[in-house]
Amino acid sequence: MKGLSKDSATRHEVDEDAAGQRIDNYLTKLLKGVPKSHVYRILRSGEVRVNSGRVGPEYRLQPGDALRIPPVRVAQRSRRIAPPEASRLDAHILHEDEALLVLNKPAGLAVHGGSGISHGVVEQLRHGRPQADFLELVHRLDRDTSGVLLLAKKRSALTALHEQLRAGRVQKFYLALVRGQWRNEKQSVRLPLNKYVLASGERRVSVDQDGMPSHTVFRLKQAWREFSLLQAELKTGRTHQIRVHLAHLGYPIAGDAKYGAFALNKILAKQGLKRMFLHACKVVIEHPRSGQEITFEAPLPEELGAFLKRLDDHAETL
C-alpha cells in the first residue's frame, strides 16, 4: 500500500473520553487511512500492546491505558469531494461548545448514511471537521422531521447524555399539525408500539398490545375548522412514536407519507405543504460538563410557518 511508514512503535495514553470504547474501533479512528483488516491483524498478532499485555479486538479501553502501536503504513488520502450538504449545515448550527454540537436539522436530510443514503448529517459534519477526534449522534430524528438534533463531541458527553435519556431527564418537544379538531387542552397518550418490516424492507410501527410501552403528552396550541396545531412532549422515545400515536387516534400528521391521509397530502402539496408538518422545536438537557439545565430551541421552518399563515388567511380560527 502506498504511503508513509512510521519508523518505530508509538506510545499512546488513553484519556477519559475513550473509556469503554472497543480497541478495534478506537484504533480505526486513530490510524486514519489504515484498512480495518490491518487493524485486526496487528491486534490478533499481539503487535498492539495495552499496559504491556496482549488484548483482543473486543477489549474495552480504560482511562490511563498505555498503548504500544507498531509501525503502520498510512495510505495517502485522495482528494475527496465534499458531501453535497456539508457547507449548508454550518448555517443550521444552534450551539457549539467543547462537548456539544446542536443542529437545527433541515427536513429531508437523514441523520446518518445507510439504506441507499451515502452521506447523512453526522457524515457531513465529520467531513467539515477533519480535525475532530469524536462526533456522534446523541439521538435521532426521522428524515422528514426538522428541528433540534444533539451531537456529542466527546465520548464522556455522549455517555452522560445517554444516561439522561435512559433516566427520562431529557425533555423533547415537537410541533405537529394534524387533520381534525383536537378537543382537549392536554391529553396524555399511552399506547404500546411494535416495530415490524414490510416485504420491501421498509421499517414500520403500529400500536400493538404486545409492543413497547410508549407515552406522549399532547397540548393544543391552535385550532382551525379542519386542522389542529399540537405540541407533543415525548416521555419515551420509540421509533415514529408521535406519528403512530396520532394516526392511531384518527389525527394523522399533515404531509406524513407513511402514516398520514394520502389523498389529503396531495391536496396539501398543491397548497404549499410539500413535507411532513413535524418539527422538533425544543430540547432541555443537563449540560454534560457543567450539569446546568440548558434549553435549545429551533424556530419553525419558513415553509411550515407560511402554511400556518395560509390557514389563518383562509379559515376562521376556532
pLDDT in tens, 26-41: 888 788 778 878 888 8
Question: Which range among 9-23, 75-89, 199-213 has the greatest average pLDDT?
Answer: 199-213
pLDDT over threshold 60, residue 311: yes
Q: With beta carbons less than 8 A apart as the criterion, state whether 21 and 60 touch.
A: yes
Residue range 275-288: mean pLDDT, rounded? 97
* Interatomic CA distance for residues 11 and 67, integer angstroms: 6
Count of CB atoms within 10 A of residue 263's CB?
Answer: 8
Strand partners, 296: 283
More confident call, 69 vs 229: 229
Residue range 215-228: mean pLDDT, rounded? 96
Q: What phi, psi does 23 have (nearest 5°)? A: -70, -30
pLDDT at 79: 45
Residue range 195-224: mean pLDDT, rounded? 93
Of 17, 65, 142, 256, the catalytic one is: 142
* Interatomic CA distance for residues 310 and 227, integer angstroms: 12
More confident call, 213 vs 34: 213
- The yes-or-no answer on residue 210 being catalytic is no
3-state secondary structure of 312: helix
How is residue 117 annotated by DSSP? B
The contacts of residue 214 (CB under 8 Å, 6+ apart) are 190, 191, 192, 193, 236, 238, 241, 245
Q: How confident is the model at residue 256 (pLDDT cuts 50, 70, 90)?
A: very high
pLDDT at 115: 52
3-state secondary structure of 306: helix
Q: What is the pLDDT of residues 163-189, one digit of tens each?
A: 999 999 999 999 999 999 999 999 999
pLDDT over threshold 50, residue 269: yes
More confident call, 293 vs 26: 293
* Interatomic CA distance for residues 243 and 259, integer angstroms: 7
User: Per the structure block, which three cell numbers stand in for 76?
Assistant: 495517502
How is residue 300 annotated by DSSP? P
Could you give all domains of the chain from N- to C-terminal order, each with its CATH number? 3-74 (3.10.290.10), 86-314 (3.30.2350.10)
Grid-cell match 458531501, residue found: 83
pLDDT over threshold 70, residue 208: yes
Q: With beta carbons less than 8 A apart as the criterion, state whether 136 and 123 touch.
A: no
pLDDT at 10: 84
More confident call, 314 vs 313: 313
**DSSP code per residue over 247-267:** HHTT-PBTT-TTTS-HHHHHH
- Work out the mean pLDDT of the chain and round it to a whole number: 88
Residue range 266-282: mean pLDDT, rounded? 96
First to last CA, the chain: 70
pLDDT at 78: 43
* Interatomic CA distance for residues 260 and 225, integer angstroms: 18
How is residue 91 annotated by DSSP? G
Beta pairing, strands 215-223 & 171-179: unpaired
Grid-cell match 410539500, residue found: 274
How is residue 188 annotated by DSSP? E
More confident call, 89 vs 5: 89
Characterize 307-317 residue by residue with b for buried, 16 or more Cβ atoms within 10 angstroms of its Cβ, and e for exposed: bbeebeeeeee
